[in-house]
A = this chain, B = another copy of it.
Amino acid sequence: MAATIEDVARRAAVSVATVSRALRGLPNVAPSTRERVMTAASELHYVADPSASRLAGGRNLTVGFVVPMLGQWYYAKLFSGVEAVLTVAGYDVLPFTMSGPGGVRRFVETLPFRKRVDGLIVADAPLEPAQFRRIEQAEVDLVTIGTLGQGIVGLSVDNVAAARLAVGHLTGLGHRRIAQIGGIVDDPFHFSVPVDRYHGYRDALEAAGIGHDEELAVPGNFSLEGGAEAMHRLLALDEPPTAVFACSDEMAIGAMQVARDAGLRVPEDLSIVGIDDHDVSEYVGLTTIRQDVVGQGERAAQRLLELSDPATSGPLHEHLPIRLIVRRTTGPPPPGVGFRW
C-alpha cells in the first residue's frame, strides 16, 4: 500500500495539516519542521494522491488538449510544444480527439473534459460561437490555436498572409495559372484556417492581375491522399495549372508525387509550394511557408498559464511569424505558358 499523508505525519510527528503545508511550500512552517517532513516523505516515497488533492483543493492540475486527431504531423508537433511547457509547470496534459463523424458535436454535447481539467487548449476546432460558450460554461480557461474564437484568447499564424506569400512567390516567378489545394472546405462551421488561406490565395491572384478560375481551387483534406487526389483532378483539367499552392506540406507532397507519376517534372513543368515546413519538406526539397508549430504549442501553453495569473495580460489574439523557404519545387513556368499577356 502506498503511503498516505497520515503516514508521513506520524513519522514526522506532526499533524497532516502541517505535512500538507510543508510539502507544498506554503509559508508559516518552521524550517526545521519542513525539513523533517520532507525527509519523512521521501523516506516513505510519499506522493500526494491527485484525486484527493483535487477533491479537496478544487484544482485538477490537468489541462486538456483538444484536436481533430493526433496522428497527423501538425497536431503531434503542437502537442510536443504544449506538453513541454505544461509539464515543467506541473500540469498533466490530457488529449481529447474529436475525430470521426459527429466528433465535434459529440464533444460539445458530452464535454468529456468536465470536472477533470482546469484549462483547455483547442486547436483547429470548427466550433460555432454558441459551442464555445458551452465550453466556457464548464469553468475552464481556454486558449485556441489556429481557428480563433470571438472573445477567446487565441493564437495563430496569419493565414491570409501566409497564402499571399506563397502565391505571391508563384506569381513573382511568372505563373498565371495557379491552383490551390485544400482551401475552402465544405464545412458548416467557420473553420477559419482553410478559409483564410483561400482568401490569401485570391488576394495574391488579384494583386497580380490574374482572374480567378473556380475549377482551380480543389479540396485536399489536409492529407497526403487528399493532396494526391486533388492533383489528379487538376491534371484532368482542360488547361491544367503550371503551379499549385497546397495549404499543407503533406498535401503538397501527395500532389507532387502524382504530378511526377504523370510524367511532369517539378519544378520545370509544375511548381509546387506548401505551408508548414514539415520535417520531411527539407528532404524532399519542397518550397514552403514555414511556421513554428512546436513554438505555437509552447506559446499556447504559456498563454494558458498566464490566464490564471491576473497580473499578466496579452492581446486577445496573437499572430506568429511565418517565412517563405524557397527550395527546389518552384521555378518559372514552362516557356510558352507563363508570360502570355
Residue in chain B with minimal CB distance to A1: B139
A95 at interface, CB cutoff 8 A = yes
| A102 CB to nearest B CB, Å | 14
Chain A positions 67-113 with a Cβ under 8 Å from a chain B Cβ: 69-73, 75-77, 79-80, 83, 87, 92-95, 97, 111
Asked whether, in the complex, the Cβ of A70 is within 8 Å of the Cβ of B60, the reply is no
A268 within 8 A of B: no
Residue of B nearest to A81 (CB): B71
| Max chain B Cβ within 10 angstroms of own Cβ: one of A48, A51, A79, A94 | A51
Q: Cβ of A52 < 8 Å from any Cβ of B?
A: yes
A55 close to B (CB within 8 Å) = yes
Whether A115 lies near B228 (C-beta < 8 A) is: no
In the complex, are the beta carbons of B97 and A94 less than 8 A apart?
no
Residues of B within 8 A of A250 (CB): 279-280
Task: Choose among B60, B83, B253, B256 the residue that contacts A95 (Cβ–Cβ < 8 A).
Answer: B83
Out of B49, B60, B87, name the residue touching A115 (CB < 8 Å): B49
With a cutoff of 8 Å between Cβ atoms, the chain B residues found around residue A10 in the complex are: none
Contact of A93 among B77, B80, B95 (CB under 8 A): B95
**A224 touching B280 by the CB < 8 A rule?**
yes
Chain B nearest CB, measured from A338 CB (Å): 27
Q: Complex formed: what's the CA distance from A71 to B75 in Å?
A: 9
Q: How far is the CB of A128 from chain B (nearest CB, A)?
A: 19
Shortest distance from the beta carbon of A250 to any chain B beta carbon, whole Å? 8
Decide if A316 is an interface residue (CB 8 Å cutoff).
no
Interface pair A47/B115, CB less than 8 Å apart: yes
State whether the Cβ of A257 lies closer than 8 Å to any Cβ in chain B: yes
- Assuming the contacts A73-B73, A254-B283, asked whether A2 and B115 have C-beta atoms less than 8 A apart, the reply is yes
Closest B residue to A82 using CB positions: B70
Q: In whole angstroms, how far apart are the Cα atoms of A248 and B121 in the complex?
A: 32
| Complex Cα spacing A43 to B192, Å | 33
Residues A83 and B70 in contact, CB atoms below 8 Å apart = yes
Query: When each residue 17-45 of chain A gets 1 if its CB lies under 8 Å from chain B and 0 otherwise, what string results?
Result: 00000000000000000000000000000
A54 interfacial contact with B, CB 8 Å: yes
14 contacts between A and B (CB under 8 A): A50-B115, A51-B115, A51-B116, A71-B294, A75-B76, A76-B76, A80-B97, A83-B95, A93-B94, A94-B94, A224-B279, A224-B282, A253-B284, A256-B283
The 8 closest A-B CB pairs, nearest first, are: A76-B76, A71-B80, A51-B54, A257-B283, A51-B51, A51-B55, A49-B115, A47-B114
